[in-house]
Amino acid sequence: MLPTKSSKELKTSTDEPIKRGESPRVGAVLQALDPATWTQSSLASKASLNRGVLNQLWQGKTSSTPLLVGRLIAVLPKKDATNLLAAYLEDVLAIVATEAAEAPGADDKSSIKAALKVSYPPPVVPGAA
């Protein structure tokens, strides 16, 4: 029996190691999208993505890529786009940390830890061209 969602609150951070080829946080963000507004078919169509690829990403069973995430961010509202970008970056950091910990000569003191704050779209820098 599949677990039911008790709330739409996102739980994107986890201490569980992520395997290469998975994007659980990105999948969680996609699953939390308003179903009245976004179906997999409508999102795939608007983002010019293959629905099968989006379905795998939706389930967290495939790696998200900058191209996939960028296409999705381009069509989502600001709040959802920010959540998706943060989830993608957290997935990437988790994979890097896991691989660094498994590298030859790695020890507990060299684990990668990072604080992440995402703002989308990026703030405008005065005087930048």
* CA angle, residues 40, 34, 81, in degrees to nearest 5: 80
123 falls within a domain: no
What is the radius of gyration, based on Cα positions, of the chain?
A: 16
- For residue 9, pLDDT beyond 50: no
- For residue 78, pLDDT beyond 70: yes
93 falls within a domain: yes
pLDDT, mean of residues 98-125: 66
pTM recorded for the entire structure: 0.69
127 falls within a domain: no
61 falls within a domain: yes
pLDDT, mean of residues 72-100: 87
103 falls within a domain: yes
Phi-psi region of 67 (alpha: psi -120 to 50; beta: other; left: phi over 0): alpha
pLDDT, mean of residues 54-59: 91
Per the model's pLDDT, the better-predicted residue between 52 and 125 turns out to be 52
CA distance 73 to 76: 5
> CB atoms < 10 A from the CB of 91, how many?
22
Per the model's pLDDT, the better-predicted residue between 109 and 83 turns out to be 83
7 falls within a domain: no
**Structural domains in the chain (count):** 1
CA distance 126 to 16: 40
| pLDDT tens digit sequence for 29-54 | 999 999 999 999 999 999 999 999 99
Per the model's pLDDT, the better-predicted residue between 87 and 23 turns out to be 87
CATH value at residue 39:
1.10.260
Domain containing residue 83: 24-110
